[in-house]
Amino acid sequence: EDIEIIENEDIEDLDASDEEADEDFVDESTQVFSGHEKAVLCCGLSGDKRYAVSGGEDDKAFVWRTDDSGVVFEAIGHKESVVCVGFNSNDTHVATADMNGLIQVWTMSGEKVFDFEVDEINWMSWHPIAHNVLMAGTAAGDAWMWKLNPSLTADCKTFQSFGKSNCVAKCLSDGKRIAMGYEDGVIRIWDLKTVSVIHAISDFSAHKATVTALDCMSDDTLIGSGSLDSTAKLVNTVTGKVVATFQCSNTPQDSDEDVDSVESIGLNSALSVLATGTVEGSVDIWDISTQIKRHSCKHSTGISKLLWDHNSPHLLYTAGLDGVLNVFDSRSGELMGTKRGHSHHILDFCISRDSSIALTASEDNSCKLFSLS
């Protein structure tokens, strides 16, 4: 075989191109956490934004300070990728969960106060009001709810499995109900007290493929859902009926091309709109009352997640495969600005309650903090 000989001049050219690439890279972050050795899959901020938690493909989870990126403690014991992390509602505890189904709960001083093993885990969520209630859903289709007691024990309830993976969930703001989305496209609204199904959207109006995203209006009247079938839906929580379906892809569903799945959605009660983001990069703003697309936000790459600003309702944040955090004005669909700093995909991000900072988790093995002022 011919072996290509690289001359010294060619090596110099390669070095020069690398230097140019480095010069082009812009890092606008205010803090960088580089404690992970592989991709960072998930992240979370405490309510007072003093602390961050991150979980990675390196089977590690860390709680660290946002002011100097110093490690508070490592959540040891995981032996698989840490896929879910989060602080409880009053910032006294943090939970970490890995792909194998090991869930651990820690105090902010790093003391482990609870652990439990379930099947392969898909989601984990603290209750929005009760700071001692934790929930999780599994690939086996069931879900679990634990009420943690001061005695370091836990009361446990189990949500029935229907034989399909329990993929995503959203607790309603009343704290009494939770919506769960399944692999077969079904959405079930559960009563948390009785652990029984209130509504099941499972007929012809249900999604035709896996439910990938859920959100709810602040008054709990509507649940929004996204799916691998490239549609988003709105469900009336009182009647359990689908009241709107949005086609979020230009690719026909009977096409030979891959379907453009909906990766993330966000309901905005103040503006009465729904935002949807797809794996091909479509970011659309839909009017809920008329069910008409208001704007399409120009996005160059696929979406991993989108979030509405907590305090400026017209601002929409998106992140994805280009490693850039984008800020759109939903009233016009125009790009307001970007936050750059990652060299690979952003896999997760969150916004502080006061909307002053954003935390991102990336495939480049780092977490970064960005100022949003």
pLDDT score recorded for residue 373:
79
Q: Across all residues in the chain, what is the average pLDDT?
A: 92
Q: pLDDT digits over 79-101, tens only?
A: 999 999 999 999 999 999 999 99
CB 94 within 8 A of CB 53: yes
pLDDT score recorded for residue 250:
66
CB 212 within 8 A of CB 181: yes
Q: pLDDT digits over 316-353, tens only?
A: 999 989 999 999 999 999 999 999 999 999 999 999 99
CA torsion, ordered 231, 232, 237, 242, to nearest 10 deg = -40
Q: pLDDT digits over 255-286, tens only?
A: 545 678 999 999 999 999 999 999 999 999 99
pLDDT score recorded for residue 299:
84
Of 192, 113, 119, 125, whose CA–CA distance to 153 is shortest? 113
DSSP letter at 129? S
Count Cβ neighbours within 10 Å for each residue of 189-215 and write b for 16 or more, e otherwise: bbebeeeeebbebbeeebbebbbbbbb
Q: What's the start-to-end Cα distance of the chain, in Å?
A: 58
pLDDT score recorded for residue 151:
75
**Strand order across the beta sheet in which 283-287 lies:** 262-268, 273-278, 283-287, 293-297
Q: pLDDT digits over 21-55, tens only?
A: 456 778 999 999 999 999 999 999 999 999 999 99
**Strand order across the beta sheet in which 31-33 lies:** 31-33, 367-371, 357-362, 346-351
Of 105, 91, 146, 100, whose CA–CA distance to 122 is shortest? 100
CB 320 within 8 A of CB 302: yes
Q: pLDDT digits over 131-155, tens only?
A: 999 999 999 999 999 999 887 778 9
CB 101 within 8 A of CB 119: yes
SS3 274: strand
In percent, the amount of the chain with pLDDT more than 70 equals 91
For 11, phi then psi, to 5°, come to: -65, -40
Q: Structure pTM?
A: 0.90
DSSP letter at 283? E
pLDDT of 359 above 50 = yes
pLDDT of 354 above 50 = yes
Q: Could you tell me how many helices (H) and strands (E) the chain has, helices first?
A: 1, 32
pLDDT score recorded for residue 153:
76
Question: Rounded to an integer, what distance in angstroms lies between the CA atom of residue 194 and that of residue 366?
Answer: 41
Q: How far are the Cα atoms of 43, 102, 343, 344, 347 from residue 39, in angstroms, in the given order? A: 12, 19, 12, 9, 9
